[in-house]
Chains A and B, each alone.
Chain A
Amino acid sequence: MDTLLTAEIAANAPRYRRKSSTFIDAIHDVPEDQDMAPAQLYSTMSGRLFHSGRIAIVMVGLPARGKTHICVSMARYLQWLGVKTRIFHLGDYRRATVGPGGTVPEDYFFPNASPQSIILRQKILKKCREDIYAWLNHENGQVAIYDAVNPVASGRRSLAKEFAKHDVQTLFIESFVDDERILLENARNVKISSPDFAGMDPDKAAELYLKRITMKIPMFETMDEKELNFIKMINAGSKFFYNNVSFNYLSHRIVFYLTNLHIKSRTTFFARAGTTTEDEESYKSDAPLSEQGKAYARKMAETLTKHREQEAAEQGKPLRPLSVWTSTRRKTVQTAEVFGEKGYKVRQRSQMSQINPGACERLSERMIRQIYAEEVEKHDLDPYHHRYPRAESYHDLAVRLEPIILELEREQNDLLIIAHESVLRVLYAYLMHCSTMDIPILKFPRDEIIEIIPAAYQNEAKRIHIPGLESSIVPGSPDDIKIPVTVQSIPPSGQASGEASGVTSGITSGQLSPIAGGLGSPAEPATERPPEKVINKAKDMVADKVDDED
C-alpha cells in the first residue's frame, strides 16, 4: 500500500471508501456485493454486460468544463444499468502523491516541463493506471472512467495504444466549451468556495480562475484524431460530434445518456401524495384526496415554498423556476393542484404510477403469508427482484422508470416529484446510488420533503420537515402493498438505535418498524428524528478539490 496515502485521501479516494448510509450518495463507494444495479436488463456469467469487453472511458478537457460532473453522472447511469463502473480521478492520485497541503510544480502541465516535473507526472499516472488495470483485470470491472485533462493528441494516442495492449478498448469523451457564459458559470459553481478567491466578486473570481487555467495548462488540443473513438460534447451538450471507429452498444448507450445530460445546477425534491378517501386504499380504484389529504397538500406546498425562498435568500440568488411532476394517479395529480394554481408547470408522467401490487392488493400481511407462503419465502430471498402473482417487482419498476431517469437529467428547472413511495424509492436510489437490497425498504414518511442537491463530485440529500401534520398520516404508505417485511432484515431491536449513521452496508434501516411501511426516512433509524439538515460531506469534498486542476 502506498505510504503516501493520508487518512483524508483514504476517506475520499474511490478505492478506499466504503458505504456508510443510504443518506449519502454512494456513487464513489466500492460495493461489496452485486446489489448495485437497479435496472439491469440481464446478467451474464462473467458479470460483464452487453458482451462489450472492457472499456476505458478517457475524459478530455480543461478544468471547468464539467468533466467530473460528466464522469459521475455517467457512472451513475452505467451502474444503474448493471455495468460495473468505477471512476479514477487523477486528481485524487496527485493529491495523494504530493501530500496534504502540497502542490505540484508550476510547470507540471507544461509541454516543456522540467525533468523533475515529468518524473512526478509519470509517477502519478503510473499509480492511477495500475489501479485501472487491477480493477479491470482482477476485480471483474467492465468500465473504468479515467478523469484527467489529457490535453494533447500525442498523449491520447499513446494512451489508446497502451490500453489496447491490455486488451482494453478506449473511448474518449471530450467536454469542449467555447461559450463564455458556460465557462464562467462552471467556474463560479465549482471554484467559488476556494479561499484564494474569498471576498472577491464571483464573476471576477471566475474570470481570474479561468485565466489561471490557461497559464497553468498552456497547451490544449481539441480532439481530431481520426483513428480514435471519441465523443465530443460541445457547450454542455448543445451539440455532439462523434468519431466512430468501432463503437459498441455501450458507446451508443453512453451517447444516448449524454444527449440528455446538462450541467445546470438544480435541485430535485421528493414528496408523497396526500391520503385518499378510501380506508383501505386500492391500486385499482384510483381514489381522490380526502380532506386530510388536501390539508397535507397545502402544508407541503407551504413548507416547500418557504424552504426554497429561504435557501435562495441565503445564497443571494434569485429563485429558480420549479416544475412539478406527478404520476397519472388521481391522488398525486390532486396533491399538485396547489402548485398548478400558483402557476407552476405541472406535468403528469404515466410511467410514474406506483408499483403494481397484483394479487396482493387489499390483502393484509397476515393474509399474504397465508395465501402465498411460498412466495413470501422467495420474496425474503430477493425482495428487489421478486414478483408476487400479477405484481411488479422493484426491478420491473426501475426498468419502467428509465425514461423518467433520463428526463430527470434533462430537466433544467428545480423539480418536485410527487409520487407513490415505491416510485420515490427507485428514483432516490438512482440519484443517491443505493443498493438493490436497500431500495424496497427506503422510507419516505409524509412529513418530510426530500431534497437532492447535485454537486459535481456527488449528490447531497436533505430532509425538510413539514410541521403540523396529524401523526396518523405520517407513516409510510398505508396504501403500500402489504408485502411482508422479512424477519431477517430486522436486526435485534435496540441494536441500531442511537446509531444515527455509520450503520454499515446491507440493511441500514435498523429500526424498521415491523409494520409494513412503518416510520422512518430513507433507511435511517425511525425513532430518532435527525436534525433538519442531514448533509453528507460533499461540500467539504468539493472544497478540497477546488484547486484541483484535473
Chain B
Amino acid sequence: MASKAITNGIGVQVEDTKICVVMVGLPARGKSFIAQKAQRYLQWLSIPAQVFNVGNYRRSDAPQPTADFFDMNNTEGERKRRAAAEAAVADMLAWLRSGGVVGILDATNSTKERRKWVLDTCNGHGVEVLFVESKCDDEDLIMANVRDVKTTSPDYKGQDPEKAAQDFRNRIKMYEKIYETIGGDDSEEDEYTYLKLMDVSKQVIINRIQDYLQSRVVYYLMNLHIRPRSIWLSRDDRPLTVWTSTLKRTIATSRFLPSHYNQLQWKALDELDSGVCDGLTYQEIKDRYPDDFAARDEDKYNYRYRGGESYRDVVIRLEPIIMEVERGEDILIVTHQAVLRCIYAYFMKKDHTRSPWMNVPLHTLIKLTPKAYGTVEERWEANIPAVSTWRAKGSTAKHENPTPGSL
C-alpha cells in the first residue's frame, strides 16, 4: 500500500489519490461506527486515514444542545451547525494537504444542497469524494442504536437515560423532515461516486467508482457487519465459532471447548514465520545474527526474518481473517503472539511502532466488543503460571515481566 507522497530523487512525485469519504444518513444509522471502522482498517493497512466528526466541532460551540437546536427553523442552530461543518472540512483539507490520504467526514449531510457544497469544496482542492450513505428503516435496529448512543455520546453525558433517549428521538425527527436520500430520479447525484448501504447492507448500490482506492474502501465497508445482533447488542446465548491456526498447540488448546462450537482451522492464523531463527531464544538470535537482532529492534514492524516473515507480511495474510471477523458472529480466536498482536492492533488502533511490542500474555482470555465509539476490552486470567515470552525493546531477557501499561 503506497501512501505517503514519495519522491524518487529526480523531483517527480508519485501521483497520489486523496479521498474524502462523506458519510450520509439520519442519526442512529451507524454512521460514526462505519467511519471509525473505516479509519481503523485503512490505518492498519498503512494508509493514513482520519475521521472528522462535525458533531465534535459543534460541541465546542454548543456542548449539550436539546433537540430544538436541530430544528431547521432555528437560525442560530443552523448557523452554528454550518460553521461546525465548515471548520471540519477546512481541517480535513489541511490534513490531506499535509500527507493524509483518506479523510472521513462524519456528519448527517442529509440534504442534496449540503452534499453539493462538500463535493464542490473538495473537488476544488483536488480531492475526490466518495459518499457513503447508511439508510435504514428497521425500527428495532434504530432503537438499539438509540440506546447505545444515549449511553456513549458526549451529547448526553450525565443525563437521565430516559430523557436522553426521548430527546435523541426528537432530534432524529428534526432531521427526517429535510432528509433526502442520495441519487435516483435522474438527479445530478447520479453522477456522484457513492455507496448506499440499505437495511444494514442487505442491499447495496455502488455508483461510479473512480479508482482503486475507492474500490478498496467500498470493499471493506461492504464486509462490515453492521447488524445489531453482533455489534450493537451483546448476547451470550449464541454458540461460539472457534478459529485456530493449523499448528498443534492451538488445536490442542481448544479441544475442551463445547462440542457444538464450530471449529475452523486457518493457515492464515499460523504464527509469524521466523525463518532461520525458528526455535532460537532471543539470546541465541543476538549471538548468531547480531545485525538482524539490531535491525529488528530498529523497525520491528517491517523487519523480515531471514527466510521468514515480517509483521507487515502477517498483516497482509490476515486480511481475509479481518474481513471474516467483521462479517461474522461471535468468534473465539486461538492463535499465537505475533498474530494476536496484529489482530489486537486492528481492533484497538495500535500503530506500527507500538503493536509489535505489545505484551500478549499466555493463559489469558481477551474479549473485544466493538461499539460505536471504539472497542471495549475485558480480560480474564486463568491463573496458570507460565513463562513470559515477552521482551522489551533492546533487551534479551527471557523471563522479563512487562511493565504495567506496556500494552
- A positions within 8 Å CB-CB of B: 41-45, 49-51, 237-245, 247-249, 252-253, 255-256, 259-260, 286, 288, 328-330, 333-334, 347-351, 375, 378, 387, 389-390, 396, 399, 403, 406-407, 410
Enumerate chain A residues within 8 angstroms of B304, measured Cβ to Cβ: 390
B9-37 vs A: 1/0 string, CB under 8 Å?
A: 11010110000000000000000000000
Enumerate chain A residues within 8 angstroms of B8, measured Cβ to Cβ: 286, 328-330, 333, 348
Q: Are B12 and A255 in contact (CB under 8 A)?
A: no
- B positions within 8 Å CB-CB of A: 1-2, 6, 8-10, 12, 14-15, 201-209, 211-212, 215-216, 218-219, 222-223, 246, 264-268, 304, 306-307, 313, 316-317, 319-320, 323-324, 327
Could you list 17 examples of A-B contacts with CB < 8 Å?
A: A49-B320, A50-B320, A51-B324, A239-B205, A239-B206, A239-B207, A244-B201, A247-B222, A252-B327, A256-B222, A328-B8, A330-B8, A389-B306, A390-B304, A399-B316, A406-B212, A406-B215
Q: Are B14 and A41 in contact (CB under 8 A)?
A: no
The 7 A-B residue pairs with the shortest CB-CB distance in the complex, in nearest-first order: A256-B219, A240-B206, A42-B267, A350-B2, A328-B8, A259-B215, A42-B268
Q: Are A243 and B202 in contact (CB under 8 A)?
A: yes
Enumerate chain B residues within 8 angstroms of A259, measured Cβ to Cβ: 206, 209, 215, 218-219
Cα distance A252–B1 in the bound complex, in angstroms: 20
- Residue A42 contacts which of B215, B219, B317 (CB distance < 8 angstroms)? B317
Enumerate chain A residues within 8 angstroms of B12, measured Cβ to Cβ: 333, 348
Q: Are A260 and B212 in contact (CB under 8 A)?
A: yes
Enumerate chain B residues within 8 angstroms of A286, measured Cβ to Cβ: 8-9
Q: Are A410 and B206 in contact (CB under 8 A)?
A: no
Enumerate chain B residues within 8 angstroms of A239, measured Cβ to Cβ: 205-208
- Residue A242 contacts which of B9, B15, B204 (CB distance < 8 angstroms)? B204
Q: Are A238 and B320 in contact (CB under 8 A)?
A: no
- Other A-B pairs beyond A252-B327, A333-B10, A350-B2, 12, CB < 8 Å: A51-B324, A241-B204, A243-B203, A244-B201, A245-B202, A252-B323, A256-B216, A333-B12, A347-B15, A389-B306, A390-B304, A406-B212
Enumerate chain B residues within 8 angstroms of A41, measured Cβ to Cβ: 268, 316-317, 319-320
Q: Are B2 and A255 in contact (CB under 8 A)?
A: no
Q: B215 to chain A: closest CB distance in Å?
A: 4
Cα distance A330–B11 in the bound complex, in angstroms: 10
Cα distance A116–B219 in the bound complex, in angstroms: 46
Q: Are A241 and B205 in contact (CB under 8 A)?
A: yes
Q: B286 to chain A: closest CB distance in Å?
A: 18
Enumerate chain A residues within 8 angstroms of B265, measured Cβ to Cβ: 44-45
Q: Are A348 and B209 in contact (CB under 8 A)?
A: no
Q: A430 to chain B: closest CB distance in Å?
A: 15
Q: Are B212 and A403 in contact (CB under 8 A)?
A: yes
Q: Are A252 and B204 in contact (CB under 8 A)?
A: no
Given contacts A50-B320, A242-B204, A403-B212, contact A330 B14 (CB under 8 A): no
Q: B131 to chain A: closest CB distance in Å?
A: 14
Cα distance A245–B207 in the bound complex, in angstroms: 21
Q: B23 to chain A: closest CB distance in Å?
A: 20
Enumerate chain A residues within 8 angstroms of B267, measured Cβ to Cβ: 42-44
Enumerate chain B residues within 8 angstroms of A387, measured Cβ to Cβ: 307
Q: Are B306 and A348 in contact (CB under 8 A)?
A: no
Cα distance A44–B317 in the bound complex, in angstroms: 13
Given contacts A238-B207, A329-B8, A347-B15, contact A255 B212 (CB under 8 A): no
Cα distance A255–B215 in the bound complex, in angstroms: 9
Interface of B is mostly: mixed
Given contacts A42-B317, A406-B212, A407-B212, contact A330 B205 (CB under 8 A): no
Cα distance A288–B8 in the bound complex, in angstroms: 11
Enumerate chain B residues within 8 angstroms of A351, measured Cβ to Cβ: 2
Enumerate chain B residues within 8 angstroms of A348, measured Cβ to Cβ: 8, 12, 14-15
Q: A380 to chain B: closest CB distance in Å?
A: 15
Cα distance A382–B327 in the bound complex, in angstroms: 35
Cα distance A389–B292 in the bound complex, in angstroms: 11
Q: Are B306 and A390 in contact (CB under 8 A)?
A: yes
Name which residue of chain B comes closest to A404, CB basis.
Answer: B212
Q: Are A256 and B218 in contact (CB under 8 A)?
A: yes
Name which residue of chain A comes closest to B4, CB basis.
Answer: A350
Enumerate chain A residues within 8 angstroms of B201, measured Cβ to Cβ: 244
Given contacts A241-B205, A348-B15, A349-B14, contact A330 B264 (CB under 8 A): no
Q: Are B264 and A51 in contact (CB under 8 A)?
A: yes
Cα distance A330–B211 in the bound complex, in angstroms: 26
Cα distance A381–B66 in the bound complex, in angstroms: 70
Name which residue of chain A comes closest to B209, CB basis.
Answer: A259
Cα distance A515–B176 in the bound complex, in angstroms: 72
Q: B191 to chain A: closest CB distance in Å?
A: 10
Most A CB contacts (10 A, CB to CB) among B2, B8, B207, B267 go to: B8
Enumerate chain A residues within 8 angstroms of B209, measured Cβ to Cβ: 237, 259-260
Q: B273 to chain A: closest CB distance in Å?
A: 10
Q: Are B222 and A328 in contact (CB under 8 A)?
A: no
Cα distance A349–B213 in the bound complex, in angstroms: 13
Q: B141 to chain A: closest CB distance in Å?
A: 16
Cα distance A328–B354 in the bound complex, in angstroms: 29
Name which residue of chain A comes closest to B269, CB basis.
Answer: A42
Given contacts A42-B267, A249-B320, A256-B219, contact A240 B204 (CB under 8 A): yes
Q: Are A330 and B9 in contact (CB under 8 A)?
A: yes
Enumerate chain B residues within 8 angstroms of A328, measured Cβ to Cβ: 6, 8, 14
Name which residue of chain A comes closest to B13, CB basis.
Answer: A348
Given contacts A41-B268, A241-B204, A328-B8, contact A260 B320 (CB under 8 A): no
Enumerate chain B residues within 8 angstroms of A256, measured Cβ to Cβ: 215-216, 218-219, 222
Enumerate chain B residues within 8 angstroms of A410, measured Cβ to Cβ: 211-212
Cα distance A30–B206 in the bound complex, in angstroms: 34
Q: A70 to chain B: closest CB distance in Å?
A: 15
Enumerate chain A residues within 8 angstroms of B266, measured Cβ to Cβ: 42, 44, 51
Enumerate chain B residues within 8 angstroms of A252, measured Cβ to Cβ: 219, 222-223, 323, 327
Cα distance A351–B266 in the bound complex, in angstroms: 28
Q: A212 to chain B: closest CB distance in Å?
A: 31
Name which residue of chain B comes closest to A345, CB basis.
Answer: B15
Cα distance A253–B320 in the bound complex, in angstroms: 10
Enumerate chain A residues within 8 angstroms of B203, measured Cβ to Cβ: 241-244
Cα distance A245–B2 in the bound complex, in angstroms: 35
Cα distance A249–B265 in the bound complex, in angstroms: 16
Name which residue of chain B comes closest to A51, CB basis.
Answer: B264
Enumerate chain B residues within 8 angstroms of A403, measured Cβ to Cβ: 1-2, 212, 216
Name which residue of chain B comes closest to A251, CB basis.
Answer: B222
Q: A118 to chain B: closest CB distance in Å?
A: 35
Enumerate chain A residues within 8 angstroms of B219, measured Cβ to Cβ: 252-253, 255-256, 259
Name which residue of chain A comes closest to B304, CB basis.
Answer: A390
Cα distance A329–B7 in the bound complex, in angstroms: 10
